[in-house]
Every structure is written in structure tokens, then in C-alpha cells.
Amino acid sequence: MMQIMKHFFLKILLWLTFVPFLGAQNDSSAVKQFISSSVFKHALVGFCVKDFNGKTLYAYNQDKLLTPASIMKVVTTASALEILGDDYRYKTKLSFSEQDSTLVVTGSGDPTLGSEYSDEESRNFLSKWSSEIKDKKFSKKTFHLLIDDSLFGYDGISQQWTWEDIGNYYAAGAYGISFMDNTYKIYFNTLADSSPVIVQLEPNIPGLTFQNNLQLNTSGQDNGYIHGIPFSCDRRITGNIPAGRSSFSIKGDIPDPGLFLAKSLTDEFRLDGMSVVDYRTVRGQRFQLKPLTPFYEHVSSPLKDIVRQINVRSNNHYAEHVIRTIGVSDVQDAPQDALKNGINRIQSFWKSKGFDTSSLLMYDGCGLSPEDGVTPEFMTDVLVKMQQGKNQKSFFESLPKVGEEGTVRNFLKETHLCGKVRAKSGSISGVQCFAGYFIDGDRKYAFTVMVNKFEGPRKDVLKNIEELLQSVF
């Protein structure tokens, strides 16, 4: 009898966890069906839905810290818009020291210089800078080139990133100078039966060497990884890539983007007839150049455009620069750890808004660290808060429409929610999450769904999440 009563009370407790809402046909049964799916037998699942007034409509494990993967970018971008402002712009300065015959480029942490995701002016800045310098009288002299890439310090990656990721393009270091997304492509010929052959590096980075341990596969999948630490030119390539290709590329992290920019600028200047003696960065050196005369300032696109690139494309590189920008925005000198300072400032900001910041564990800005943690309720509360402030429009429009664009272009496609939901996705090994908004007329809701440690194919997890959202909205 006791066992029967215990089972009965457990069922009642589970039922009380959910609050029917939205007039959905399936009500709380949709959530119960979701969490009881065999796909999630050993998984950790969290779900939270609130209206724009902050009223909780559904909640399950809403107070449990779960690994967010890339939906951590929701916290980073929301914080950046609130702390820095949506019209914040990076400003990279060019100055000249007549006394030392040195041209100095002072980095501002701008991630868009030469980026394939930036505007035309930022993509083609080398020729613009060269023209500006050539117009100045000192360009007729012989001069040195110095890159000041010290703004964020030189701990360009999170200490909590894994070895599997470090050295790959999606784990690129973030520094005071960024160039070409801090990314290169390495091309292989895989027509031979033995192993992939390196044929080209684009762009060519002097001194970069590779220990090639790649294998071939017949699955057609890219399982190639590049390993290497920042500022080291030694790289190891592991995994496997498709066989039978005359050209197949994978992408890696430029180990020293400041130095590579210095080389690229020197090449551009020399093509324009200017005499550059040498180039270097300030890393590990002491320079006291004075007086410095500023003569040109490269201004980036506004932060709201950068934030949209972060959320639509899930751009780790941009996100890591943004969180470090937050970290140095309230100090005179660059801190020893711009990332840590950025995290602390984000924590302080949300605490000042009444949030329980013990519900947020950040080790980076992009969500690549498996040690990151956030509760579904905290994430949903951030989404709600962002619809109540001055950056409402900029933040809302930064999230891609499901079924149409970005990393969610295939999610909820050809369903009644296509185009009515804006959401950020997040996925790393064993993790699948979504956070965003559903808006249809007067029906306006923020939601977060998080799945950790699932077994089986990711497509089955996605299917279950799609069915959940279609049922409750």
C-alpha cells in the first residue's frame, strides 16, 4: 500500500511541475512526453518558458546548472549591448613617431579587420591604410612598423577549452589585434590511397609547420582537427577527411595574428613603394615611443551588427573579442586577464539587475568550454529582460529566424513555427540547446530548452525538441 501511495504522490508532483498555458492542445503532456522520451533516458533535461512580463508558464529543472554550448552567446551579446551600447565601435589607431621613425598600429580588439563577415571597408582595409600612409610626408622616409596587440593581454584562449579544440578555427585566440578572423585554410589532395597530402596554405603563414597524421574516410565527413597552442608555429593534424578529392580544406587558428598583420602590412607598403625596414609586435618587449602623432583611425561597424554575426553564425571568434572588450572597457590599463575581467563584469551587471548569478558559470564568451553552466531560468530571464530595455530591437533582431537563416535554418523548417521563432542554438558533444523567442500577434514568450549527456543520434534529439516546441506554441 505504501508503495502505491508513494507512486501516486510522485505522479501528482510531476504533474504539478507544469502549468498549462497558451491554450495548446497538449498542454503539460507535451513536456511530460518530451522528458520521458527514450532518447533522454540517461540525459539531463531543462526547460523554461516565460511571458514578456516574467510569468513562468512552463518549468522543468529550470534551476539546474546545465552546459549551454553556444547559447552562452545569448548572455555575452545581451551583456555587451547593455554595457557597451549597440552603437559601440572599435577604433584601431595609426600613429607615427618621427623621433624613432616608427609607424605604430594600436589594436582595439576589433574582430572585423579582414574578416569575411565584415563590411567591405574592413575586408579591404590593407589598401586603405596603405593609401592613408602614402599620403603622409613621413611615408617618403625609411621607417619601422610596430603592432601594439597588447590590449587584451596574451592569454587568448580560455583555460577551460579542450585540447581537441585548441588550434582549430572555431577556437581562435582573441587579442588586441585580430586579422582575417585569425583563421587560415589548409588544402589537401586525397586522391591517393595512402594519406592526405598538404598542397597549399591560404594565406601563407611563414614558419608554420605541420605534423600530418590525417587518415582518409569514405563517409564524406570532415573529421579533421588541427592542434596547437597560441604563438607556436608547430601544428599537429589528426582525424580523417574524405577520400577521392583533388582539393579539400580544413581551417586552423593563426598562432600570432598581430605578427601576421605586421607582415601583411609590410608587404602592402612595399608594393606601394614605401621603405619598411622591419616589423614586430610589442609582445614580450618594452617600447617607449614618443612623441606619437596619431593620423588615422579605422572605425568598425556598430556593435549591433557584430552581435548579429555572433548570434546568426554562432561566431566564436567575435564572441571572444566582445567579452574581452567588456573586460577592458572600464579600466585604464589592460588587465592581466581580460577574459576573467569580462566575466566578472557580466556577473556584476546581472547581479545589479536582481539576478541570482550563482545560476551562471562562465569560462568564456562563446560557450565552447564544457565547464560553462547556466540554468534554463536564468537564460530565459535574460531573454525577458532584453525585451524591456533600450536594446530590445538590436538584440531581438540579432537572433536568427528558425527555418530560414543561420545555424537554425533547418530547424523547425516547414512547420507552423517557421519564421515565428527567433532562437540561438547551441551544440557540443552530448549537448543540444535552444534559447529564444516565440512571437505571434499578442502571444509573446521567451523560452530555453537544454539537453545534456544524451545518447544516440543528434537528429533524434532535434526531432524531439521540434515536437516539444510545436506542441507548446
Domain identity same for 130 and 260: yes
Domain identity same for 156 and 238: yes
Domain identity same for 288 and 343: no
> 5 lies in a domain?
no
Domain identity same for 256 and 211: yes
Q: How many whole angstroms separate alpha carbon 245 and alpha carbon 190?
A: 5
CA nearest 209: which of 226, 223, 222, 196?
A: 226
Report residue 257: phi and psi, to 5°.
-65, -30
Domain identity same for 257 and 283: yes
pLDDT value, residue 19: 44
Residue 23 pLDDT grade (very low, low, confident, very high; cuts 50, 70, 90): very low
**273-295, pLDDT tens digit by residue?**
999 999 999 997 877 777 889 99
Strand partners, 438: 421, 445
Domain identity same for 384 and 402: yes
**127-146, pLDDT tens digit by residue?**
999 999 988 877 788 999 99
Domain identity same for 383 and 415: yes
Query: CB within 8 A of 373, min separation 6: which ones?
Result: 65, 66, 67, 68, 360, 361
Domain identity same for 282 and 409: no
pLDDT value, residue 333: 59
Strand partners, 143: 276
What angle in degrees, to the nearest 10, is found between the helix axes of 316-328 and 303-313? 140
Q: pTM here?
A: 0.92
> 1 lies in a domain?
no
Domain membership of residue 42 as a residue range = 15-85+306-472
**What is the average pLDDT across 345-367?**
98
Q: How many whole angstroms separate alpha carbon 213 and alpha carbon 237?
A: 6
**What is the average pLDDT across 328-354?**
88
**76-131, pLDDT tens digit by residue?**
999 999 999 999 999 999 999 988 899 999 999 999 999 999 988 889 999 999 99
